[in-house]
A and B are shown apart, each in its own frame.
Chain A
């Protein structure tokens, strides 16, 4: 499963939505109505899943779901290089 698919599974499970409604352009807050706790839980679950850290300052820069996925993919690639 791709990183994007894995993140979709995690987010959909936390916010209780069908993962098909998660698009790269969509906003977690506006489009799938995730609240601040959902977002923290999603960040934590993704951190645990991929064994990476996502600082709050970076998370606050995500404009949409795609930014979130791109960031995680970058971090995972960096980790694999090391």
Chain B
């Protein structure tokens, strides 16, 4: 139980990647604060499954894109627990549009939830980690470095998130806080199934050298490693979890020649 006695906040942990991370860290002994925004039922289910692992779970509703709600969440954590050991910045949203169709509203919505929220969460979390060290891990995506269809504003927000990860890693290093990010390719979640058609899922599966799509637990495993003491010297990095997709860009095109 490497995380026994620790307290972790996982933003957006009702479903998908956040839920998998919450369960993974709970299985390592950490108590978990399950943050959600729109689906209480899913968050309650995650909390129940966490408690079944023998640790404590607390559910807090907050739109992390809204600074006032985010502050309320941290006020609750400060009052109820007085500290925090691990912050997982996972909550994300976005508007699927081409660059020329991105308006100010879509930009602000996406940037505020995906990038600004980490800035504000990290500022509050750092205070709760004062004198005890801590870990912060952000969940990002390949869209920060590569161009994906209609992913412009999300990709840009994830690039900002990764840059913020580097700056925070250096600024918080003297406080004993490790800050890193995990970038996944398309992860097989309910949300992804909602957004893309099955044909494209099949293409992604076939284009992944590891032979299958990334699943939430793949991401959770790397997050758990970054939260462990073994990862102490990894700072400000974005670790890619994509089954080899990003380093095999032209492999699919040359398939018939092999």
Q: Which of A41, A44, A55 contacts B39 (CB 8 A)?
A: A55
A53 to B41, CA, bound (A): 10
Q: How many residues of A contact B (CB 8 A)?
A: 8
Complex contact B39–A37 (CB within 8 A):
no
Determine the chain B residues whose CB is within 8 A of the CB of A38 once the complex forms. 105
- B195 → A minimal CB distance (Å): 11
Judging by beta carbons under 8 Å apart, are B95 and A36 in contact? yes
Q: Is the CB of B63 within 8 A of A41?
A: no
Residues of chain B within 8 A of A36, CB atoms compared: 95
B-side contacts of A55, CB under 8 Å: 38-39, 41
Chain A, Cβ-Cβ closest to B96: A36
User: Which residue of B has the minimal Cβ distance to A14?
Assistant: B105
**Shortest Cβ gap from A20 to chain B (Å):** 22
> What does the 1/0 interface line of A14-54 toward B look like (CB < 8 Å)?
00000000000000000000001110010010000000010
B40 and A41 form a contact (CB under 8 A): no
Q: Which residues of B contact A44 (CB under 8 A)?
A: 37-38, 63
Among the listed A41, A53, A56, which residue makes an inter-chain contact with B109, where contact means beta carbons less than 8 Å apart? Answer: A41
Which positions in A face B, CB cutoff 8 Å?
36-38, 41, 44, 53, 55-56
Q: 18 A-B contacts, Cβ less than 8 Å apart?
A: A36-B95, A37-B95, A37-B105, A37-B106, A37-B109, A38-B105, A41-B105, A41-B109, A44-B37, A44-B38, A44-B63, A53-B38, A53-B40, A55-B38, A55-B39, A55-B41, A56-B38, A56-B39
